[in-house]
Amino acid sequence: MRLITLVIMLIPALTSAQKFTVSGYVKDAATGESLIGSAILNKRSMQGTTANVHGFYSITLVRDSVNLVYSYVGYSPIQHVFVLKRDTTIDVFLENANQLDEVVVAGSRTEEIQEMTQMSSVAIPIEQIKGLPALLGQVDVLKILQLMPGVKSSEGSTGLYVRGGGPDQNLMLLDGVPVYNASHLFGFFSVFNADAINRVELIKGGFPARYGGRLSSVIDINMKDGNMKELHGEGSIDIIASKLTVEGPIKKDKTSFIVSVRRTYLDAITQAFVRVENPDARFGYFFYDFNTKFNHIINKRNRIYLSTYLGDDKVYVKDVSKQTYQKYRSEFGIRWGNIITAFRWNNVVGPRLFSNLTATYSRYRFKLYSEEETIGTNPNTGVETTTRYYSEYFSGIRDWGLKLDYDFVPDPAHYIRYGAGAILHRFTPGAFTYNLAAGRPDTTVGARKTDALETSIYVEDDIKMFENLKVNAGLHASAFNVDSRWYHSVQPRISARYLITPVLSIKASYASMMQYIHLLTNAGLGLPTDLWVPSTGLVKPQRANQAALGLARNIKSDYEVSIEGYYKKMYNLIEYKEGASFLNTTSDWQDKVAINGKGESYGSEVLLQKKKGKVTGWIGYTLSWTNRQFDELNNGKEFPYKYDRRHDVSIALTHEWNKRMDFSMAWVYGSGNAITL
């Protein structure tokens, strides 16, 4: 890592000595929140850059008079005109604006869109997500992403099937930490509380080298940092749940916090109906989310963050009955949930070099339990006899992670990112415990815990090769150690953008991906009974290759339209064999699966977006095919995958009548899903 840093830092020495760097942060003037992806453009040379996921930017220019324009969707742009004589730090605070300057913003926004090499990607403003229709009042990030072309979904489920991939092939990140199960209420809602979120980005292809470990998509979600200026709160009481968010400064412009809580009261509602039918019975269901984040600016160069997420679902049935000489109590329940923690340290090493060190902890756990207790009294002696039985089926995955990332911007023609990371996994792929005498389980049957180490290193460069050609090229190398066996891979990634005209560009990409962990899922169940398992000597890592080609065009600065075609091939997929059950703990999970499966997915996507004005939203269309083939299933013949849906149309629109009232609608059409019994 030191050698890579040294080599990269020597690049400026080979360029002109009369260049200086302008760097700093772009933030919301009212809250101090980082404005991720803000555009910075020097209008004199038409060279630009964007702020990273922490709001930091860096642009190196020739010593001269500069005219820097800072812009972000939904905010009034700011200009700084000055003579650049030395390295300069400028922190910029943009004001939220209802009506933007159409001329200025159109120019800078067009430049930003056409400059991007990234394709198959969409970032949805959180305010737009909140403005769209919500099931039972619960605004849901994943439900909105399901309205995007290339993303398949099922009714009443938060699962995402992106370009023919399964739900385990999506890398869901919350402040850089992988989320292994993102569903509440058996898939009707996701764990992401929109009130605590700053930014959401979906990447379906052309993956930058900094991402790895999954085949089909990246869903990168950043929590709010917390208001640095003043105490602020918001909350709501909906049909099935209530939520409250409070954020504010601990020390103004220095330290801030945000706390967001959400809980359902379905258990209280259902109890009233159940008691009418059976006074001895109790039935309930609830889920809760608890997000916190603390953010402290140590000095101009150093900043630390601590973010956490806790969430649980529980459904239970209780029965309590009393007779003259006997008392009976039983409970059956299912519980699942996540714990996610991230500690980040941002360091501005120099005006052109930014580092981010992240330490993470993540745990997902699923438990199905049954408990019975009978207390009998001998009518002759009065002696009580107690009989107890407890059984529990549980599975889960736990991660400890450490990652170091660098952003290096030697000049506007290069944006270099590089870094390394490691994750220590512990898999518990399904075990059954029971006890016939006491309240605690003492006997365990089933799969053993398995530890595995996953490491990675990457480097990528966003290069402006010619006036009209820009390329993002990189390598992602990774390794996986489990049971004294090593797997490794080198994955090339490349994306290119060529400007045909100032408002029309053609883009192409290729990405090789490797995934070392698998998800065993019962396709017919609506329960979170999925088992995360590692690659082993028998079960190889999944891998995929994807190529895409597309056109993007701006229309009158208000509209963006894009069309993409893609082809993806997947290898080493796994599925349950016919008749296999996750509850069968007498055999190892490896004996229950069909291995070395192949997958193929291809199609085209069209997206028309409008991001500003009274009416905003998008129209998307997908035409696609996706198939799977296993030697041990369907007599070895190819069959349609679960969400092989030929046609998919989605419309999502919001109209702002005035500052107090708006109207929104979402409409979806999909042709039939294939079912393979």
Please count the CA atoms within 13 angstroms of the CA of 67 that sit on its side-chain side: 5
Average pLDDT over residues 49-72: 91
- Residue 380 has a CB neighbour count (10 Å cut-off) of 6
> Running DSSP on this structure, what letter comes out for residue 449?
P
Q: What is the mean pLDDT of residues 87-108?
A: 64
Tokens for 86, please give them.
Answer: 């030395």
What tens digit of pLDDT does each residue of 564-622 get?
999 999 999 988 777 666 555 556 777 778 788 999 999 999 999 887 778 888 999 99
**End-to-end Cα spacing for the chain:** 50
Mean pLDDT of 165-181: 91
At 5, which helix (H) or strand (E)?
Answer: helix 2-9
Q: What is the mean pLDDT of residues 627-650?
A: 90
In this predicted structure, the answer to whether residue 661 has a pLDDT above a threshold of 50 is yes
β-partners of residue 605 are 564, 622
Alpha helices in 84-216 (DSSP H): 102-115, 126-131, 141-145
Please state whether beta strands 255-264 and 281-297 pair in parallel, antiparallel, or not at all (unpaired): antiparallel
Cβ atoms within 10 Å of 153's Cβ, excluding its own? 22
- For tokens 């099937």, the residue is 161
Query: Are 615 and 609 within 8 A, CB to CB?
Result: no
* Position with higher pLDDT, 431 vs 623: 623
Q: How confident is the model at residue 495 (pLDDT cuts 50, 70, 90)?
A: very high
Helix (H, G, I), strand (E, B) or coil at 637: coil
Q: Which residues of 269-294 are buried (b: 16+ CB within 10 A; e: fewer)?
A: ebeeebeeeeeeebbbbbbbbbbbbb
**What is the per-residue pLDDT for 516?**
96
3-state SS assignment for residue 290: strand
Q: What is the pLDDT of residue 447?
A: 60
One-letter amino acid at 244 equals L
Q: For residue 517, what pLDDT band results from cuts at 50, 70 and 90?
A: very high
Q: What pLDDT does 389 receive?
A: 82
pLDDT tier, 9 (very low <50, low <70, confident <90, very high otherwise):
low
- As a whole number of angstroms, the distance between CA 69 and CA 497 comes to 23
Query: pTM, whole model, 2 decimals?
Result: 0.87
Residue 529 reports pLDDT greater than 70? no
Contact 393, 432 (CB under 8 A): yes
Evaluated on CA atoms 156, 159, 161, 165, the torsion sign reads negative
CB distance 98 to 92 below 8 Å? no
pLDDT, tens only, 410-458:
988 899 999 999 999 999 877 666 666 544 555 555 567 889 999 999 9
Sheet holding 170-174, edge to edge: 121-125, 197-203, 217-223, 170-174, 177-178
Q: Are 304 and 326 in contact (CB under 8 A)?
A: no
What is the model's pLDDT at position 554?
A: 85
pLDDT of residue 281: 72
Q: Of 109-123, 386-400, 423-437, 466-480, which range is least confident?
A: 109-123
Residue 42, φ and ψ in degrees, nearest 5: -90, 105
| Strand partners for 479 | 455, 488
CA 673 to each of CA 149, 152, 158, 165, 640: distance values in angstroms, whole numbers, following the listed order: 16, 10, 17, 15, 9
Query: What pLDDT, on a 0 to 100 scale, did the predictor assign at position 113?
Result: 46
Q: DSSP letter string over 450-497? A: EEEEEEEEEEEEEEE-SSSEEEEEEEEEEEEEETTEEEEEEEEEEEEE
The Cα 546–Cα 536 span in angstroms is: 25
- Give the separation between CA 474 and CA 494, rounded to whole angstroms: 6
Which residue, chain included where needed, has tokens 């082809």? 567
Would you say residue 126 has pLDDT above 70?
A: yes
Q: How far is CA 568 from the centre of its chain?
A: 21
Report whether pLDDT(324) > 80: no
What pLDDT, on the 0 to 100 scale, is given for residue 275?
66
DSSP state of 138: B
Identify the H or E element spanning 664: strand 662-670
Paired with 93 in beta bridges are 27
| Each residue's pLDDT tens digit, 338-364 | 999 999 999 999 999 999 999 999 999
Distances (CA, A) of 163 to 107, 149, 570, 603: 33, 9, 11, 8
Q: Which residues pair with 570 in a beta bridge?
A: 544, 599
CA dist 165 and 608 (Å) reads 24
Q: Tokens 């070395």 identify what position?
A: 596
Most confident stretch, 111-125, 268-282, 457-471:
457-471
pLDDT of residue 444: 55
d(CA 249, CA 228): 5
Which tokens go with 677? 């019994």
**Under a CB-based contact definition with an 8 Å cutoff, are residues 358 and 403 in contact?**
yes
Tokens of 356: 């981010």
Q: What is the pLDDT of residues 191-244, one digit of tens each?
A: 888 889 998 999 999 999 999 999 999 999 999 999 999 999 998 888 788 899
- Tokens, residue 372: 């019975």
Could you give the count of Cα atoms lying within 13 Å of 299 in the half-sphere of its Cβ? Answer: 4
Per DSSP bridges, beta strands 281-297 and 469-482 are unpaired
Range with lowest mean pLDDT among 120-124, 276-280, 315-319, 510-514: 276-280
Indicate if the pLDDT at residue 544 is higher than 80: yes
Tokens of 243: 């939520």
**Can you say how many angstroms the Cα of residue 544 is from the centroid of all Cα atoms in its chain?**
20
Q: Rounded to whole angstroms, how far apart are CA atoms 49 and 19?
A: 16
Q: How many helices (H) and strands (E) does the chain have?
A: 5, 41
Q: Tell me the torsion sign for CA atoms 238, 291, 233, 70.
A: negative
- Return the percentage of the chain with pLDDT > 70, whole number: 86
Most confident of 131-135, 234-238, 305-309, 518-522: 305-309
What secondary structure does DSSP assign to 207-252, as a single string? Answer: --TT--S-SSEEEEEEE----SSS-EEEEEE-SSEEEEEEEEEEET
Q: Which helix (H) or strand (E) holds 543?
A: strand 542-555
pLDDT on residue 79: 92
Task: Kindly report the number of other CB atoms within 10 A of residue 241's CB atom.
Answer: 22
pLDDT at 14: 47
Residue 127 sits at φ, ψ, to 5 deg, of: -65, -35
Q: What is the CA radius of gyration of the chain?
A: 27
Average pLDDT in the chain: 85
- Answer for the pair 583, 429: CB distance below 8 angstroms, yes or no: no
Q: Which residues, 6 or more positions from 677, have their beta carbon under 8 angstroms from its beta carbon?
A: none
Phi-psi label, residue 585: left if phi above 0, alpha if psi -120 to 50, beta otherwise: alpha
The reported pLDDT for the residue numbered 584 is 58
